[in-house]
C-alpha cells in the first residue's frame, strides 16, 4: 500500500526528522480498476488524515505511536499493510531451534535492524539450503539443540521482540554478515565472517585467537601444536569452528575460559536465559500495549472534548447571531416609530397653518 500515493510522501532530500511533504495536505491516492481496492485506499487516506489531525492536536501522542511502531507493539503486516495491535498465538512453536522451520528463521532475520530482505534470503536459500540456518545460528549465537521458550513464543510478536533483543545482546552480527560477506546474488563468503581472528608467531605456530564478537583472547593449550598448515574449518560457527589436520580436530572454543569468547553469551542447557529474556520482552510489550490502549482512551476523550467545544462554540455563535438580529429588529422598530412620530408632528403643523 506504500505505493498508493500520487505524490511522494517525503520532500526531496528530506531527512527522517523533517516534516513529511503532506504535513499540510495529504496527497490523493492512485485509482485502479479494482473498486474494492479504490475504496480501501480512500478509507486509508481518510485514516491518515484523521491520525495526523489527532497528533497535531495532541503532540505527545506522536512519541507514543512512534515508539510502539518501532518496538513492534503496533506492527504492519498482511495485505494492505493493515495495522494490528497483537499477533495471534502460534500453537506450533518448536521445542528447539533445530526443529524450527526455515520460514520462521527467515521471519526473525528479516525483522532485525539492518537485517536481510526476503528476496535476498530466497537467493541465499537457492545457493545453499543450509545457509539460512547457519546465518540464524551465527547472528543469534544459539545452537540447534538450544531450547525455545515455547510459552512466551506462542505470541509471535513477543518472539520477534525477544529474538531482536537477543541479536542486540550478542552484538548485532547481522550488520557485519549481510554488509560484508553476502553478495547481491546470495552467495556467502564464510571466510570473511569468521568468528575468530588468528595470530601466528614467527615460527608459523598459532599464538592466540581473538573472538570477533566479544574481543576476548584465547590461547592454545600447551599440548597443542597448531601451525599455519592447519586449516580452520566452520569459521562462521563459534562453537564448532576447529583446526583440523589428518584425523585431528582441535576446537577453538576450548581455548577460552568459562564466560569468555563464545561462552560469554552462550545459552544454558535448560534455556532459562532465553526464557528470562522472553519474559522481560513480554512485560515490556504488555506495558506498551497498555500505553496504546490508554492513548486510544485519551484520543477518545479528546475527540469528545473537541466535539463539546465545537458544539459550545456553535451555540455561542448562534446566540450571538440571534442577539444581533434582535438588536437590528429593535433598531428598525425604533426607527419606524421615530419616523411615524415625525410624520404626525408634520401633519399637525400643516393643520395649524
pLDDT in tens for each of the 353 residues of the chain?
555 555 555 555 544 444 455 555 677 767 776 666 666 777 777 777 777 777 777 777 776 776 666 555 454 444 333 333 344 445 578 999 999 999 999 999 999 988 999 999 999 999 999 999 999 999 999 999 999 999 999 999 999 999 999 999 999 999 989 988 999 999 999 888 899 999 999 999 999 999 999 999 999 999 999 999 999 998 888 999 999 988 899 999 999 999 999 999 899 888 899 999 999 999 988 888 877 766 666 666 666 666 777 777 788 888 888 888 888 887 777 777 777 776 777 666 666 65
φ/ψ (deg, to 5) at 217: -110, 135
Sequence spans of domains, the chain: 21-83, 97-191+267-290, 194-263, 304-336
CA atoms of 299 and 301, how far apart (whole Å): 5
CA atoms of 295 and 302, how far apart (whole Å): 10
- pTM, 2 dp: 0.58
CA atoms of 297 and 303, how far apart (whole Å): 10
Residue among 250, 202, 247 at smallest CA distance from 226: 250
pLDDT for 231 equals 93
pLDDT for 274 equals 94
How many alpha carbons lie under 13 Å from residue 134 in its C-beta half-sphere? Answer: 22
Residue that has been written with the C-alpha cell 498508493 in this structure: 4
Q: Are 254 and 224 in contact (CB under 8 A)?
A: no
pLDDT tens by residue, 255-301: 999 999 999 989 988 889 999 999 999 998 888 887 776 666 666 66
CA atoms of 39 and 42, how far apart (whole Å): 5
Q: Are 232 and 242 in contact (CB under 8 A)?
A: yes
Residue that has been written with the C-alpha cell 599455519 in this structure: 228
pLDDT for 148 equals 94
pLDDT tens by residue, 29-44: 677 766 666 667 777 7
Residue that has been written with the C-alpha cell 577460552 in this structure: 256
pLDDT for 311 equals 78
Amino acid at each position: 500500500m506504500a505505493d498508493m500515493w500520487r505524490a511522494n510522501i517525503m520532500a526531496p532530500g528530506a531527512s527522517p526528522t523533517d516534516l513529511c511533504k503532506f504535513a499540510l495536505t495529504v496527497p490523493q491516492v492512485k485509482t485502479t480498476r479494482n473498486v474494492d481496492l479504490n475504496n480501501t485506499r480512500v478509507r486509508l487516506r481518510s485514516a491518515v488524515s484523521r491520525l495526523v489531525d489527532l497528533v497535531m492536536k495532541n503532540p505527545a501522542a506522536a512519541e507514543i505511536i512512534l515508539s510502539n511502531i518501532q518496538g513492534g507493539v503496533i506492527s504492519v503486516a498482511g495485505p494492505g499493510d493493515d495495522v494490528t495491535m497483537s499477533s495471534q498465538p502460534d500453537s506450533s512453536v518448536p521445542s528447539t531451534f533445530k526443529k524450527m522451520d526455515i520460514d520462521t528463521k527467515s521471519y526473525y532475520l528479516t525483522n532485525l535492524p539492518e537485517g536481510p530482505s526476503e528476496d535476498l534470503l530466497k537467493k541465499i536459500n537457492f545457493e545453499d539450503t543450509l545457509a539460512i540456518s547457519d546465518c540464524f545460528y551465527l547472528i543469534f549465537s544459539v545452537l540447534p539443540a538450544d531450547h525455545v521458550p515455547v510459552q512466551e513464543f506462542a505470541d509471535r510478536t513477543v518472539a520477534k521482540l525477544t529474538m531482536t533483543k537477543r541479536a542486540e545482546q550478542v552484538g548485532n552480527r547481522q550488520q557485519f554478515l549481510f554488509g560484508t560477506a553476502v553478495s547481491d546474488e546470495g552467495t556467502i563468503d564464510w571466510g570473511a565472517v569468521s568468528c575468530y581472528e588468528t595470530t601466528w608467531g614467527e615460527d608459523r605456530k598459532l599464538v592466540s585467537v581473538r573472538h570477533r564478537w566479544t574481543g576476548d583472547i584465547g590461547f592454545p593449550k600447551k599440548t597443542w601444536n597448531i601451525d599455519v598448515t592447519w586449516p580452520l574449518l566452520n569459521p562462521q560457527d563459534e562453537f564448532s569452528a576447529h583446526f583440523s589436520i589428518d584425523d585431528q580436530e582441535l576446537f577453538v572454543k576450548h581455548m577460552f575460559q568459562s564466560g569468555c569468547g563464545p561462552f560469554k553469551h552462550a545459552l544454558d542447557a535448560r534455556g532459562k536465559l532465553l526464557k528470562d529474556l522472553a519474559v522481560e520482552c513480554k512485560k515490556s510489550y504488555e506495558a506498551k500495549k497498555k500505553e496504546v490502549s490508554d492513548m486510544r482512551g485519551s484520543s477518545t476523550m479528546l475527540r469528545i472534548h473537541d466535539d463539546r467545544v465545537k458544539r459550545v462554540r456553535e451555540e455561542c455563535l448562534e446566540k450571538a447571531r440571534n442577539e444581533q438580529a434582535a438588536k437590528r429588529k429593535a433598531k428598525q422598530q425604533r426607527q419606524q416609530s421615530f419616523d411615524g412620530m415625525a410624520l404626525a408632528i408634520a401633519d399637525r403643523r400643516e393643520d395649524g397653518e
